[in-house]
Amino acid sequence: MLVDCALQESSQGNTKIVWILIIIFTSWIGAFAYFLF
């Protein structure tokens, strides 16, 4: 999920950075949330 998030085009300002931080700090919960949204 982290690689997918990093490689995907971001449509809004710092959205990509926020998602990467969520995935790193919350591990599987953040990855699952990114997968859903």
Whether the per-residue pLDDT at 32 is higher than 70: the answer is yes
Binned at pLDDT 50, 70 and 90, residue 11 comes out as low
**Which residues are CB-contacts of 33 (< 8 A; sequence separation ≥ 6)?**
22, 26
Q: pLDDT over 70 for what percent of the chain? A: 86
- Provide the percentage of residues in the chain whose pLDDT is more than 90: 0
For CA atoms 11, 35, 16, 13, give the dihedral sign: positive
Q: What are the extents of the domains in the chain?
A: 1-36
Assign 1 a pLDDT band (cuts: 50, 70, 90).
Answer: low
